[in-house]
Chain A
Amino acid sequence: MTQKGSLDDFLATAVEAAKQAGEIIRSGFYGAKQVELKGEVDLVTETDKKCEQLIFTFLKEQYPDHKFIGEETAAAGGNIELTNEPTWIVDPIDGTFNFVHGYPLVCVSIGLTIGKIATVGVVYNPIMDELFTAIRGKGAFLNGKPIRVSSQDKLVKSLLAAEVIASHEKSIVDASTNQINSLLFKVRSLRMSGSCAIDLCWIACGRLDLFYLVGFGGPWDVAAGAVIVSEAGGLIFDPSGKDFDITAQRVAASNPLLKEAFVGALQQSE
């Protein structure tokens, strides 16, 4: 029996919450395909909020003293300050555009920080039925099986994931495509999936070798993925090579063999 208040207990509760939210996402996902334009944005927002509410309620019931940071609550003006207190950091649906379009890369992301350190991570893709989990110091898993980052050591044989920030501002789009241009000369190929949390998990299980993203929404996009990558033997860092800051809206990840070359390439790509 898992001891209440232990890390295993936190993980089990988070998994349960993720699975319940996953159900809601799954039922909205196949319905969304048939929906007319008019209701789309409303539908998504409803599902996001519904899932976030469900997850918060579930976790608050178990852990009334813990703190909570959620994408939708933050958007509504709620708390976004990260303290040393155990803090659940939640993205109820990462991959919102994908959800609307029925593109199967969507997930629930639930991370727990203790002393500002990402300690428990759950990322659940209910469409592909892939559950990524990790507890600091205890390894990373996909549907219960241990996962490890790739052992690729050459940049030119590496698969890079990136995303385009949803913005039509010229300086942002130009910087983005210039960076992609520079990197394409140095890596094997580029993938864009539409979900930051999924990109981190796919680094963790070796499907990708490199990932970077700047200017994403908030800590909820990376809190869970950060633990999962680290526990799978990967590295998570600021794109400049400095230490990862969970609130900075900047992230890079790779296996340990590629970090230096990757940071070099990122620096040259600016």
Chain B
Amino acid sequence: MVYRISGSVEDFLAHAVEAARKAGEIIRRSFYETKLVEHKGLVDLVTETDKACEELIFSSLKQQYPDHKFIGEETTAACGVTELTDEPTWIVDPLDGTTNFVHGFPFVCVSIGLTIGRIPTVGVVYNPIMDELFTAIHGKGAFLNGKSIKASSQTELVKSLLATEAGTKRDKATLDASTNRINSLLFKVRSLRMSGSCALNLCGIACGRLELFYEVGFGGPWDVAAGAVILTEAGGLVFDPTGKEFDITAQRVAASNGFLKDAFVDALKQSE
């Protein structure tokens, strides 16, 4: 299908970067202050900053691209799920790592992805505290602060760094499944990292800091839309934890560098 896109992908990226930087300013300013925290669940948090950033990003992009569609974490929480169509769609997490933000833990980011024909095509992830800007356009490589990045060339699971998260569900079934899985994987990898941001985990693989990542039951497509482009463009792989094709709306993701997917999928299967 051919779409008449009003603007080039480079334009889309440039405007997304601008929006991310502006939102990043808001995050940076309030980072070291006391925050007003609301609970979406027992441990699932949202703040004024989340909402302010989403508003800013949406209005900034809507001004440029009034015909595009928008899916945002906070708008979805307030108004319900917007379906992902083939239309150019901005998928935004205004503040990924809200718990980190509340605690002043420096792994927070703005995540802005654009899908066209449901394919993640443009990705921007910006950590304003560490001043790290990850960008990618489908077919045009991935970058960190303008420098080209590549996933690692590690081929052995046992020498790999695995990232995952504790998630926001605290029922016994979920937690038990979660820690049983971690237990099984710990025998097969070098070590485990939990940083609190899905988008930054994907970017971490993209720039070679990590080798493996999986998360199941996270919030929505906004956690992965940008990271998926960035990692793919860095030579990494994004897939369903079963090894099947990645579905951006499924709230399930696994990722690795270009060499470890098969071994990782095996290990994940055995860990259930």
> CB within 8 Å of B: which residues of A?
33, 36-37, 97, 101-104, 128, 150, 156, 159, 164, 166, 168, 170, 173-174, 176-178, 180-181, 184-185, 188-194, 202, 205-209
Interface-side segment among B16-24, B204-212, B245-253: B204-212
Complex contact A177–B210 (CB within 8 A): no
In this complex, what residue of A is CB-closest to B160?
A101
Assess whether B6 is interfacial by the CB under 8 Å rule: no
Interface centre among B42, B154, B194 (most CB of A within 10 A): B194
Give every chain B residue within 8 A of A97 (Cβ-Cβ). Answer: 161, 190-191
Binary contact track B188-227/A, C-beta < 8 Å → 1, others 0: 0011111110000000100111110000000000000000
Assess whether B166 is interfacial by the CB under 8 Å rule: yes
Complex contact B194–A37 (CB within 8 A): no
- Which 9 pairs show the lowest CB-CB distances between chains A and B? A181-B179, A177-B183, A192-B194, A103-B209, A207-B105, A190-B166, A159-B103, A188-B43, A177-B179
Complex contact B204–A103 (CB within 8 A): yes
Give every chain A residue within 8 A of B152 (Cβ-Cβ). Answer: 33, 101
Task: Check A189/B209 contact, CB under 8 A, given A103-B204, A181-B179.
Answer: no
Complex contact A177–B166 (CB within 8 A): no
Give every chain A residue within 8 A of B156 (Cβ-Cβ). Answer: 37
Complex contact A185–B166 (CB within 8 A): no
> CB within 8 Å of A: which residues of B?
42-43, 99, 103-106, 130, 152-156, 159, 161, 166, 170, 172, 175-176, 178-180, 182-183, 186-187, 190-196, 204, 207-211
Where chain B touches its partner, the secondary structure class is loop
Bound CA span A33–B154, Å: 11
Bound CA span A170–B192, Å: 16
Ordered by A's residue number, 17 sampled pairs between the chains whose C-beta atoms are within 8 Å are: A33-B152, A33-B208, A101-B210, A102-B209, A128-B130, A156-B42, A159-B99, A166-B190, A170-B187, A173-B187, A185-B172, A189-B166, A191-B194, A191-B196, A193-B195, A207-B104, A207-B106
Give every chain B residue within 8 A of A192 (Cβ-Cβ). Answer: 192-194
Bound CA span A36–B153, Å: 8
Complex contact A177–B194 (CB within 8 A): no
Give every chain A residue within 8 A of B183 (Cβ-Cβ). Answer: 173-174, 177
Chain B nearest CB, measured from A154 CB (Å): 12
Bound CA span A202–B100, Å: 12
Chain A nearest CB, measured from B35 CB (Å): 12
Give every chain A residue within 8 A of B170 (Cβ-Cβ). Answer: 184-185
In this complex, what residue of B is CB-closest to A96?
B191
Bound CA span A170–B180, Å: 13
Interface centre among A103, A104, A166 (most CB of B within 10 A): A103
Give every chain A residue within 8 A of B195 (Cβ-Cβ). Answer: 191, 193
Complex contact B43–A102 (CB within 8 A): no
Complex contact B186–A173 (CB within 8 A): yes
Chain B nearest CB, measured from A170 CB (Å): 8
In this complex, what residue of A is CB-closest to B182?
A177
Complex contact B196–A164 (CB within 8 A): no
In this complex, what residue of A is CB-closest to B207?
A102
Complex contact B175–A184 (CB within 8 A): yes
Give every chain A residue within 8 A of B182 (Cβ-Cβ). Answer: 177, 180
Task: Check A164/B191 contact, CB under 8 A, given A184-B179, A185-B170, A208-B103.
Answer: yes
Complex contact A189–B99 (CB within 8 A): yes
Give every chain A residue within 8 A of B161 (Cβ-Cβ). Answer: 97, 101, 103
Bound CA span A191–B97, Å: 12
Instruction: Name 10 extra pairs, CB < 8 A, besides A164-B191, A178-B179, A185-B170.
Output: A37-B159, A97-B190, A102-B209, A104-B209, A185-B175, A188-B43, A189-B99, A191-B196, A206-B103, A206-B104
Task: Check A101/B209 contact, CB under 8 A, given A177-B182, A180-B179, A207-B106.
Answer: yes
In this complex, what residue of B is CB-closest to A174?
B183
Chain B nearest CB, measured from A181 CB (Å): 4
Give every chain B residue within 8 A of A102 (Cβ-Cβ). Answer: 207-209
Give every chain A residue within 8 A of B190 (Cβ-Cβ). Answer: 97, 166
Give every chain B residue within 8 A of A193 (Cβ-Cβ). Answer: 193, 195
Complex contact A168–B103 (CB within 8 A): no
